[in-house]
Structure 1
Amino acid sequence: MPKFLKFICFLAIGLGLVWLVTHNLTDKEKDDIFNSLEHANYWLLIPVIIVGIASHWYRAVRWKLIMEPMGYHPGTLNTFFAVMVGYLANLAVPRLGEVTRCGIVARYEKIPVDKLVGTMIAERAVDMLLLLILMVITVIIQIDVIGGLFIAEIWHPIENKLGNAGSSRSLIIIGAIIILILLTYIVFRLIARSKIGIKIRALAHGVWDGIRSIGQMEKKGWFIFYSILIWMMYFAMMYLGFYCMEETRYLGLKAALAVLIIGSVGMIVTPGGTGAYQFLVQRTLMVYGVLDTTAYAFGWIVWSAQTLLVLIVGLGSLVALPLLNKAQTPSEKAGQTV
């Protein structure tokens, strides 16, 4: 029930953003959106999908590198299928896929799930760091364009919200946070020696082993290379996507970088980025002179290509996992790890 309520909440946010963009559209604007969708060259999305599959494959290869210092060598296919099923789960509930893919690898490769959660946290921390670095680079090289967008769409809303909160409300929030921290500390002290406390410590220890594995890996150079390669492929997907519409073909590398970074935020906040991705892509492209209706249509095209990729390959992976592991002998699975 909590997962279902979380899904409903995030989905409502996404659908609310879709409504926010579309409810005041005139008939002409709606016609312009459908006209842009109708005249797009969808065949040019095939390279986008191919690059997308390659990025997910190298994500699986990179994940394997984090497991090696702990003595685990899962099969590449199992790891790739787990990654794709994880993305499929993320379409329902944001971040649910991270736990899902850990569970799949734990089941088919007999690796403790707590250690896998640690590797996943480490992997996501690296991705978040790269996203922040790219975000800073994007703002610096386009301070006149992206700086204004950041101030208008992110900083001013936060500033207004803080300004309207009032001092008394702020003190209540701070007091509630302090009380919550104290209660958490007291609860942990009470259960520290219980069976539950012992299990929690064991889980935390396994997670820490997974995180620490990055510092212990022998192939750090390959890990860095794959991390950069994955984001270069994300960037290539966005740049290639511009060519599917006549109105966006003139956009350059800077625009592709900006759409990638800001669109990535939308993919995080709602299930599969529904609503938020299209809204943020539209706002970004409008800064580069693209009509609002065309920009909104482009957001839907790119989002649909990515979602279709996850649906097809994710569902295929879900079917292939039991078939692959049933057909393989232990020696074959060992050979797959090479």
Structure 2
Amino acid sequence: MVSESGWWTSRKQGLTVLAGVAISIAVLGWAAYRIDLRGALHRLRGFGGAWILPMLLFYLSSFLVRGVRWCLLLQPVGTVPWSTSTGVIFSGYMANNLLPLRLGEIVRALVLTRVTSVRMDGTLSTIVLERVLDGLVLVGMIAFVLPWTDVVPGKEGVVAYTGAVSAVVFAGALLLVIAVRLFPRVVLRVSSQTLEWAPVVKKERGVGMVRSVLRGLETLTMDRRLLAVLFLSVAVWALEGGMFWVGLQAFALDADVAIALLTLAFVNLSILIPSAPGYVGVFQGATILAFAAFGLPEETALSYAVVVHALQYVSATAIGIGVLAKYGISLAALRQESISHEHSK
């Protein structure tokens, strides 16, 4: 039998999946209505296969730097080889591409705990901090590059607004992480009182979750390592921005590196919106909006988004599946374990 809380959680997860799929379908429908699909197909046919290799080199190189960064974050938790951390990151991206509910981060933590001795709570805490830093770097790209870029009058709002909202969200998340790290007892007490006033989950379960996060964050130290992590975060997105820039050259677009970085930042902040697995639809819609803001052809935007997204999706998924095969881990088992972890929240 399924408990009442388990039934409600399963229903909530099902509604979340349906909402994401509905958003993806709606965005794809909007794109099909807005854009000349024949023109987009014509532009897609003009993409040369010779551009695939340099685009993939930039994209996959960013994972190598991600692996170094995660090793640094994991140092207080346990020593993890760079090759292991990089491979496990690929498994997380693969899971986000194939599974609903954005389970990639949980899958990533589960895989690492299976192949190393690192604890789950410590691993999840490093991932949280990593994601917060990623968001702040992307917001910083918009803040520093947008004023120096030629934007179509009246169209700059969508990019600037996304950057402003994201800045508030990620800055707030960073402050929360710092507060949890510096004042754990206060956070635990406030969490317990809040669950009594607003019991979104059972108090015992909620307090247990908070304790788990606190244990993980206890291992994180505010030292020079974080400066190195921040530098590596910038390097990660600079390399992925290189993929976006090469893609612009592949479609013979008169656009500089600044536009590539802004498109990268806008697209990656936009895919935080719920969507189908692999961010299908939202990725394409965000690219179309970004291109429109910079006065670039929307038909080309759709073709460009299809190519960039396909290269990212196929490469990360294939390597992630290979990593699981290497470790003898079943994706189906990870999916079930990840969903069970979500049930426990």
* TM-score under structure 2 length normalisation: 0.74
- Give the AA of the match of 1:289: G
1:14 aligns with 2:24: yes
Q: 2:141 aligns with which of 127, 134, 140?
A: 134
- Shift of residue 109, structure 1, vs aligned partner: 0.6
Per-residue CA deviation, residues 173-231 of structure 1 (Å, 9 max, x unaligned), is xxxxxxxx98634367x976x5x466335313223225x33x14x54453233222111
Aligned twin of 2:215: 206
- Shift of residue 58, structure 1, vs aligned partner: 1.3
Q: 1:121 aligns with which of 128, 134, 148?
A: 128
Distance 2:279 2:202 in 1: 39
Q: Indicate the percent of aligned positions where both proteins have the same amino acid.
A: 19
Aligned twin of 1:320: 326
Distance 1:30 1:125 in 2: 37
Give the conservation status (yes or no) of the 8 Å contact 1:138–1:146. no
Q: 1:69 to 1:151 in 2, by over 3 A?
A: same
Q: Which has the larger radius of gyration?
A: 1
- Give the AA of the match of 1:310: A
Q: How many residue pairs get matched? A: 287
SS of 2:100's partner is coil
Distance 2:210 2:308 in 1: 43
Q: 1:259 aligns with which of 257, 263, 268?
A: 263
Give the conservation status (yes or no) of the 8 Å contact 2:283–2:305. yes
Aligned twin of 1:186: 197
Distance 2:306 2:193 in 1: 46
Distance 1:155 1:200 in 2: 33
Give the conservation status (yes or no) of the 8 Å contact 2:267–2:283. yes
Q: 1:198 to 1:276 in 2, by over 3 A?
A: closer
Distance 1:44 1:319 in 2: 29
- Shift of residue 61, structure 1, vs aligned partner: 1.4
Q: 2:304 aligns with which of 274, 298, 301?
A: 298
Per-residue CA deviation, residues 112-171 of structure 1 (Å, 9 max, x unaligned), is 1011111111111111111111121122223x6178334257859xxxxxxxxxxxxxxx
Q: Which has the higher helix share?
A: 1
SS of 1:69's partner is coil
Q: RMSD in angstroms over aligned alpha carbons? A: 2.9
1:1-338 matches, within 5 Å, as 1=10, 2-23=12-33, 29-70=36-77, 72-91=78-97, 92-93=99-100, 95-142=102-149, 145=151, 148-151=154-157, 184-186=195-197, 196=205, 199-210=208-219, 212-213=220-221, 215-216=222-223, 219-246=225-252, 248=253, 250-269=254-273, 270=275, 271-322=277-328
Give the conservation status (yes or no) of the 8 Å contact 1:3–1:93. no
- Shift of residue 95, structure 1, vs aligned partner: 3.7
Distance 1:23 1:112 in 2: 49
Structure 2 residue runs of 5 or longer lacking an equivalent are 1-9, 163-191, 330-345
- Shift of residue 286, structure 1, vs aligned partner: 2.7
Distance 1:153 1:230 in 2: 21
Distance 1:12 1:123 in 2: 29
